[in-house]
Amino acid sequence: MLIPIRVECYAGFRANQEPRAVDFGEGPKEVVEIVDRWYEAGRLPEAPAADYFKLWLADARTVLVKRDWVLGAWFLVREWPASERRSDTPEGRG
């Protein structure tokens, strides 16, 4: 189930290039790292064109978010359980 979310993006020479903060309704969480990203061209009607971003957030959550180009909206696709998160934390990076 996709959950609608708000995303603040860096806008470079193209609008809304990549997420900088994600808000799940509890206030924005800074994106520490874009772990992975990909684009799906919408080959199937039930899967319209979208950008996907796997993000590591400042609160140590790892999430997968989707920007649906047809709807013009962002969605939370997945959040990884604590056991699958990275062992280092944003605070521990130097």
For the segment 14-64, what is each residue's pLDDT rounded down to a tens digit?
A: 655 799 999 999 999 999 999 999 998 867 767 778 999 999 999 999 999
What pLDDT was estimated at residue 93?
A: 46
Whole-angstrom CA distances from 4 to 46, 68, 83, 85 are 17, 11, 25, 22
